[in-house]
Structures are given as structure tokens and as C-alpha cells.
């Protein structure tokens, strides 16, 4: 009896976790979620997926709250989607459509955009095929070709295939020039810190928390870039660019994996990766394994000593833990070697953020070289060159009227800086 109850509770929690994730995904494209709930399914209705009573109940909700979009966290056939849209007089998105919508908005590179379109078309194509086989079966099996339905479907499919072939061709070209782009991106003088982690782990909340305190959040240079990139001043003077990324999604449909990876490409260029984890989540361990798996596929070893990029695990939402669990995690963290020590934070309350800032600064300075320079006061061009190409830590006029500057740069740049200002 006890056991049965416990199982039931565990199942409820899983459903609740899935619902949380779906709500998080909807928020990721700025939807205002007015209602959410779990539907118990008796049997699947081919025409509407849900049973009649449920369809009517939701129709009432849609009407009374003036809802424009209903998200169903499942896979719908085109027919089901169309029927529900008619019943509810609202747009209906299934899980894959919602995820594609997010990827589409967040793709920053040409490759990302192409990969997302590729996934979109592949999805559409698979749905065409499904309807087609369905029709075939309805009409009594194989060999029954011809008729207006099939012709249209065949034409649709051919159009999609042509477009897919074009995209694949272009993707090949884009990949060949990718390295070049990466080099030009590297001219940004500040180190890049990228936030990765599951949807709902708290990446955006942490991003806001870290940029909020910074006087640089309205930095002119970056204000025009997309809102997921911000320049931030860390307490000890290091200046970074913080980059929020598309979150990981549990049970990501296979055909979306390439598109997802493309949206994460920029992570490889980061100097530091913050892996944000919701340690209060029941699936925290499985999520950890998923994220590390994808990072490895991108060529990032999450446990490499002196790894480039360096990776810091951020154990978020500690405010949700009871004192015993919090202590247990703090002890585990404490026992790890310094270079791999996770930082416990709450992005909501701000607890642990200073320790996180310090850990980032430490990782950054580990790989970068400090250079002391002494410039002629008339050398305005030199000063601005340094501001563009290095991280200026300190600048003052010394007793002899010369400009003393302390700058920090990646080792590969340090030599050219020293050569330029040697005297
Ligand atoms: N209790 C608690 N909730 C948090 C914390 N950080 C984020 N959240 C909540 O978790 C949800 C997802 O956060 P969000 O930043 O959007 O996650 P993202 O998908 O990783 O960007 C939101 O409802 C946040 O308010 C935290 O430290 N503690
Ligand atoms: Mg987010």
C-alpha cells in the first residue's frame, strides 16, 4: 500500500516536472502563460487527440481568458492540430513546433538558421508521410495511387525535398567558412562567458542577476546586439561578455538535435562555460549527464584539467533545498579540487553570486597574461588601441606624467602587445 502511494507520487512529480518544462519553453518565446494543467488521457482520439469533454472544457478556458495559443506538450498530427484550432479558435502548437519556434528565434548564425529551417522542413515532411500512409490505409491498402489527395501531397513533398537539398548544399558551404568567422569574432577584446544548462535551470534569471549589478549593462558597444549578450564588469575589474544560450530540453526529438547543436556552436568559442544546474530538480543527475554528453559532442571536455574553455558548474536554486540537503551538497562541493569546485548559488536571492564572480575571475586570469605598460601622454592612439584589443585593468598618470597601464590579454596576443609598446 505504502509503495503504491509512493509510486503514484513519483509519477505525479514527473508529470509536474514535464509541465514545468513546457511552461518554461513557452516563456522562452515570451508567451504569457495564463493557464496550465495535466490532462489524464483515457484513449487517444484520432481526430482531436483529446476526448470530447476535454476539448470543450479547454474551449471554455480559451474563450474566457481570451487565449491566442494553446501549447500541447505532445506530438499532434496535422489533422488533430487543424481540428483543435477550429474547435478552440486559437493557434495550436505541439511540442516539436514550440521547440522549433524557440530555435528559430535564437539562432544567431547563418548555420543555426539553416539548421533550424532544415529541421522544420524535415518535420513537415514526416507529417506529410504520416498523413499519406494514413490515407492509403483508409482507402484499402497499397497500390491505390492517383486521386487529388495524393497528387497534392506528392507535390508538397517534392517541394520540401527540393528546399531541403538546397539547404544541405548551403550548409556545406557555411561550415567551410565557419572557421573564418570564428577568427573575426575573436577580435572582441573581452573574454566570453557562456551560460548553458537545461531549460528552467535558471540561466536567464542568473544572467539578469549578474548583469543587473553591472553599470555596463547599457554598454553602447553591445546595446545593439541581441539581448542575450551583455558586457559585465566583475568586482575586481575583469570585463566579460555574458552570453545566455538556448536551454537543453528533455527528450529532444531526434530530428531537432542538429539544429540544437548549431544554436550552441558559440559555446565552443567561450573562454568560460557556466553550466547552470537546478540542483533542486528530481532529474538533476540525468540532466547533468545529458549536458556533458552534448558538450563532448561539441568538442568540449567538461572535466579536462586546464580545459579550454574552462567550465564552472553552478548549482542553482539552493534556496529551495532544506538545510540538511544544502549542507550535504556544500560538503560535496567542498571536497572537489578547487579547479572543479561547483559554486552554490540562488539566482533568485543572490546568494553565492559573489563567489561565482570570483570563480570566473580566477578562471579567466589563469589563462591570461598581465602586462604593465608605460605610455607617452601624447599616445592617444596607443591608449585606444589597448582599449580595443586588451582588457584594461588599471590606468593612471604616474609621477613623471606618463600613462601607466595594466592590461590583460590572452597569451597569444600578449607578445604583440609587448612588441608594440616596447621602448
Ligand atoms: N527558487 C528559485 N527559483 C529560481 C532560481 N533561479 C531561477 N528560478 C526560477 O526557475 C524558473 C526558470 O528560470 P529561468 O531563468 O527562466 O530558466 P532558464 O530556462 O534556464 O533561462 C523561473 O520560474 C525562475 O523564477 C533560484 O535560484 N531559486
Ligand atoms: Mg532562459
Kindly report the length of the chain.
423
In this predicted structure, what is the pLDDT of residue 234?
81
Question: Is 245 a pocket residue for ligand 1 (Cβ < 6 Å)?
Answer: no
In this predicted structure, what is the pLDDT of residue 12?
63
- Rounded Cα gap, residues 107 and 103, in angstroms: 6
Residue 81: which residues within 8 A CB-CB, separation 6 or more?
92, 94
| Local confidence band at 194 (pLDDT 50, 70, 90 cut-offs) | very high
In this predicted structure, what is the pLDDT of residue 226?
56
- Rounded Cα gap, residues 327 and 322, in angstroms: 9
Question: Is 348 a pocket residue for ligand 1 (Cβ < 6 Å)?
Answer: yes
- The residue ranking higher by pLDDT, 281 or 8, is 281
Other C-beta atoms within 10 Å of 180: how many? Answer: 9
- Rounded Cα gap, residues 237 and 393, in angstroms: 6
Question: Is 233 a pocket residue for ligand 1 (Cβ < 6 Å)?
Answer: no
CA atoms within 13 A on the CB side of 351: 11
Map grid coordinates 539578469 to a residue: 208
- The residue ranking higher by pLDDT, 86 or 234, is 86
Grid coordinates representing 112 are 543555426
| Local confidence band at 397 (pLDDT 50, 70, 90 cut-offs) | very high
Q: Which of 146-160, 176-190, 336-350 has the lowest mean pLDDT?
A: 176-190
Residue 32 CA to ligand 1 center (angstroms) comes to 16
Q: Is the pLDDT of residue 36 over 50?
A: yes
Q: Which atom of ligand 1 is least distant from the CA of 347?
A: 27
45 DSSP 8-state letter: B
Average pLDDT over residues 376-398: 88
**What element of type H or E holds 316?**
strand 310-316
402 DSSP 8-state letter: P
pLDDT in tens, 311-356: 999 999 999 999 999 999 999 999 999 888 999 999 999 999 999 9
In this predicted structure, what is the pLDDT of residue 48?
94
- Rounded Cα gap, residues 412 and 365, in angstroms: 14
12 preceded by a cis bond (ω within 30 of 0): no
Ligand 1 pocket test, pick from 16, 25, 202 with the greatest ligand atom count within 8 Å of Cβ, gives 202
pLDDT in tens, 301-314: 888 877 778 899 99
In this predicted structure, what is the pLDDT of residue 213?
62
pLDDT in tens, 58-83: 999 999 999 999 999 998 988 899 99
Q: Which of 118-127, 174-183, 201-210 has the lowest mean pLDDT?
A: 174-183
Average pLDDT over residues 282-298: 90
| Local confidence band at 419 (pLDDT 50, 70, 90 cut-offs) | confident
CA atoms within 13 A on the CB side of 381: 2
In this predicted structure, what is the pLDDT of residue 2?
38
- Give φ, ψ of 368 to 5 degrees: -115, 155
- Rounded Cα gap, residues 121 and 158, in angstroms: 11
pLDDT in tens, 266-275: 788 888 999 9
Return the SS3 of 69: strand
Question: Is 247 a pocket residue for ligand 1 (Cβ < 6 Å)?
Answer: yes
Q: Are 96 and 256 in contact (CB under 8 A)?
A: yes
- Which stretches within 29-109 are classed as H helix? 52-64, 78-88, 95-106
248 DSSP 8-state letter: B
- Give φ, ψ of 317 to 5 degrees: 70, 30
- Rounded Cα gap, residues 73 and 67, in angstroms: 17
Q: Are 61 and 67 in contact (CB under 8 A)?
A: yes
Average pLDDT over residues 396-405: 91
Question: Is 402 a pocket residue for ligand 1 (Cβ < 6 Å)?
Answer: no
CA distances from 270 to 222, 309, 390 (A): 17, 6, 16
pLDDT in tens, 95-140: 999 999 888 887 777 888 898 899 989 988 888 754 444 444 444 4
Average pLDDT over residues 172-196: 72
- The residue ranking higher by pLDDT, 413 or 226, is 413
- The proportion of the chain whose per-residue pLDDT surpasses 90, expressed as a percent, equals 41
Average pLDDT over residues 190-203: 92
In this predicted structure, what is the pLDDT of residue 129?
53
Amino acid at each position: 500500500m505504502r509503495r503504491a502511494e509512493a509510486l503514484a507520487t513519483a509519477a505525479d512529480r514527473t508529470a509536474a516536472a514535464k509541465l514545468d518544462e513546457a511552461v518554461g519553453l513557452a516563456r522562452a518565446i515570451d508567451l504569457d502563460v495564463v493557464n496550465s494543467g495535466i490532462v489524464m488521457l483515457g484513449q487517444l482520439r484520432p481526430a482531436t487527440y483529446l476526448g470530447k469533454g476535454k476539448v470543450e472544457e479547454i474551449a471554455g478556458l480559451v474563450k474566457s481568458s481570451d487565449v491566442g495559443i494553446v501549447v500541447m506538450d505532445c506530438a499532434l498530427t496535422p489533422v488533430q492540430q487543424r481540428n483543435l484550432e477550429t474547435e478552440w479558435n486559437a493557434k495550436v502548437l505541439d511540442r516539436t513546433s514550440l521547440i522549433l519556434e524557440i530555435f528559430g528565434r535564437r539562432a544567431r548564425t547563418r548555420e543555426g538558421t539553416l539548421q533550424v529551417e532544415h529541421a522544420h522542413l524535415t518535420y513537415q515532411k514526416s507529417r506529410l508521410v504520416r498523413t499519406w500512409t494514413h490515407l492509403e490505409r483508409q482507402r484499402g491498402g497499397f497500390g491505390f495511387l492517383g486521386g487529388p489527395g495524393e497528387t497534392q501531397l506528392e507535390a508538397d513533398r517534392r517541394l520540401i525535398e527540393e528546399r531541403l537539398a538546397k539547404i544541405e548544399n548551403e550548409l556545406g558551404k557555411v561550415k567551410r567558412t565557419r572557421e573564418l568567422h570564428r577568427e573575426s569574432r575573436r577580435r572582441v577584446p573581452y573574454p566570453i562567458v557562456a551560460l548553458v544548462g537545461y531549460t528552467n535551470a535558471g540561466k536567464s534569471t542568473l544572467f539578469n542577476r549578474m548583469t543587473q549589478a553591472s553599470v555596463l549593462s547599457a554598454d553602447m558597444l553591445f546595446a545593439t546586439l541581441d539581448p542575450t549578450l551583455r558586457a559585465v564588469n566583475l568586482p575586481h575589474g575583469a570585463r566579460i561578455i555574458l552570453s545566455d544560450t538556448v536551454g537543453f530540453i528533455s527528450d529532444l526529438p531526434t530530428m531537432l538535435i542538429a539544429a540544437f547543436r548549431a544554436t550552441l556552436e558559440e559555446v565552443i568559442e567561450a573562454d568560460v562555460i557556466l553550466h547552470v544546474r537546478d540542483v533542486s530538480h528530481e532529474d538533476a543527475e540525468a540532466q547533468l549527464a545529458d549536458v556533458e554528453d552534448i558538450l563532448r559532442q561539441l568538442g568540449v571536455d567538461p572535466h579536462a584539467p586546464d580545459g579550454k574553455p574552462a567550465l564552472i558548474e553552478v548549482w542553482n536554486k539552493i534556496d529551495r533545498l532544506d538545510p540538511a540537503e544544502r549542507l550535504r551538497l556544500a560538503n560535496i562541493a567542498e571536497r572537489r579540487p578547487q579547479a572543479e569546485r561547483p559554486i552554490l548559488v540562488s539566482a533568485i536571492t543572490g546568494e553565492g553570486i559573489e563567489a561565482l564572480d570570483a570563480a570566473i575571475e580566477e578562471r579567466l586570469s589563469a589563462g591570461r597574461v598581465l602586462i604593465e605598460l608605460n605610455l607617452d601622454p601624447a599616445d592617444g592612439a596607443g591608449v585606444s588601441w589597448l582599449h580595443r584589443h586588451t582588457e584594461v585593468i588599471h590606468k593612471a598618470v604616474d609621477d613623471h606624467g606618463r600613462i601607466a597601464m595594466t592590461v590583460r590579454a590572452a597569451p597569444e596576443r600578449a607578445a604583440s602587445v609587448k612588441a608594440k609598446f616596447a621602448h
